[in-house]
Structure 1
Amino acid sequence: MRTQVAIVGGGPAGLLLSHLLHRQGIASVVLESRDRRYVEHRQRAGMLEQGTTDVLRGSGVGERLDREGLVHHGLELRFGGTGHRIPLTGLTGRTVTVYAQTEIVKDLVARRLADGGDVRFEARVVEIDPAAAGVTYVQDGRTRTLECDYVAGCDGFHGVSRPAVPGLRTFVRDYPFAWLGVLADVPPSTDELIYANHDRGFALHSLRSSKVSRLYLQVAPDEDLAAWPDARIWSELAARFATGDGWELREGPITDRAITPMRSFVAEPMRHDRLFLAGDAAHIVPPTGAKGLNLAVSDVTMLAAAFTERYASGSEAPLDGYSASCLRRVWRAEHFSYWMTTLLHADPAADDFARRLQRSHLEYVVSSEAAATSFAENYVGLPAAP
């Protein structure tokens, strides 16, 4: 079997890359180790920068996004019992959109299959040859080999693509806290996201739809999920979001819960021979800045353009520059995510001096237009590099 581009991983990065290549007449095969139902239902956040929504709309998969996505023009930073709105659109002219990653995956799977795309579920990749551009995988109990011109590793942090690159340099930062995230069947208590800094820990009120809320609590990395029954979760959320203006948190049935550790990670370079890394296979960010999915979309958009140039003109210059170009954006997003994480979370090792510095910085962000603008332009996403 042979194709032009073998794509390892059928998440949003791999599926979008396949879709973008198809629109340019470039053949690809997507190999995904899980079944279709698992891929379409795994819970992930979905805060989309305007650049991401522009890519989805421009490639013809934005119809349901436009119909169901929740466009946000601002967000709230809440600390000291008071909320402070950051007018994202007013400061930058851009927006962000809440649209669940699960829905993006469903849209992309449906489009790839409707277009006759080759998406192979339950196809577990066991070996990648970056030099020969070959992929060995197991499906239906049989071992098969897919030959190709190039391999795109879009299989996430725990995938097989990154270990296939020798001599990688990695950069890691682990955080002394995690997020307890819940999905609840209750209308959101806010029209825009609330990021709350509290002595008891960080909290985030996000939205999934007009009827479903997504909420998060800072907890210890080794927290036992069983120690958090519904009543304790709602009580702690209410305490961390509390204000003096009568605002109330709506409660409802919790349908999903999980604890997510927080880490920053970057692997360099993002290319070795004919293997290219994209998305979480090359970098992860703490979720505070909502950059993970957006970085993945940026990566594969750039990679699709580089492949298009290669097959159209024969030039490999964009492919040669792929890693350096991606990493400039990655490191900016890494810094913003690190900055926002340390700004809003309660560090268990912090002394009184550090806590006062944190409060001073929060007050500066909400009182200075220059500081708020810097925050806003990073949050909505910086324009793509020329």
Structure 2
Amino acid sequence: MRYDTSPTARALLALEAIQDCPGITAQRLGEHLGVTERAARRYVAILREADLPIESATGPHGGYRVGRGLRLPPLMFTAAEALGLVMAVLEGHRGAADPTEIVGAALSKILRALPQQVAEPVRAVRRVNGPPPDPGLRVDPVLTARLVEACTSSRRVRLDYRLEDGRERPMEVDPWAVVLRHGRWYLLCWSRTSDAQRALRVDRVQSVFTTSLGFTPPQDLDALRTLEEHLSQGWRHEVDVLLRADLDEAGRWLPRSLGRLEEVDGGIRLRATTDEPDWYARQLAATPLTFEVRGSAALVQATEDLAARLVKAAGAADTAAPPGGMAGPARAGTTPEQQHTDNRSPRTRVITTGSGSPGPDPEER
């Protein structure tokens, strides 16, 4: 409790404490406010003078509590509390970022009621979000609030970061944005330690210290796009694919986390890297796009292996006689999924959409 806190602020804090802890004694209330027991009783008297129904009971189980008839007071949140609330809603409800959806509309009302210095960092997190994270990857709202505030104020931070092998590494970074993507909270930043762009997992940030040093963030930063492109680069195997499609069509079928798309003669070039060529081949095969794998021996091999599995599965389906007739070749113009529907054979369904990440922690590159 700050010593320069005004009497009005202390009275409101007293009300908040009584609401949060029904039966709180004058002694405990004084300790919470940082004042004497006598001063705590004075703040209770101020609340009663304002016609607030603060009841008290004597005895070993007595204390202060709010009686019936209290109208809802103005909401008071710290930056960490507000961010924790929004993070919990984003993690638990996919429509929370949409202000036209019922949960998103309720969240917007809360944000409008908050002071600007509290609401703006929270809005920054809400604007860039994705699917809810794994429950085991939940992050500390207090620590995350410090990161978001540093992003908003463009202040450099020093942090301790836990690497994948368990070692802790001190880092100095210029924080750009906190983003929820691929089920994880990331800090998109420029690492002064590595002199490179980084996407750090917030659940591995152990401590944060905000310095007085400012920085200039990238102009017109699209944090979500930048993060997804960053996550597609820096892995072990190169990816170079030519897509026979236009840019809009390729963008509709391929998430930005798979790589960078650029227009070239003959179609769209997809450039990326991956540690899981088999997984990457399945992502390409799951689209209706015609593509050609170039300049990546590991991905070429993974694509050939997948093709062989499909051919084998289709051949197995052709040799089995369907109900009411003899087996024959698959009808021309049908996809593997359509053949699966027609033949009712689970052996023909071999294309899956992976949900794994393209590799390990981005800081481990």
Q: TM-score, normalised by structure 1?
A: 0.23
Q: TM-score, normalised by structure 2?
A: 0.24
More strand by share: 1
More helix by share: 2
Q: Which of the pair has the greater relative contact order for Cα pairs under 8 Å at 6+ separation?
A: 1
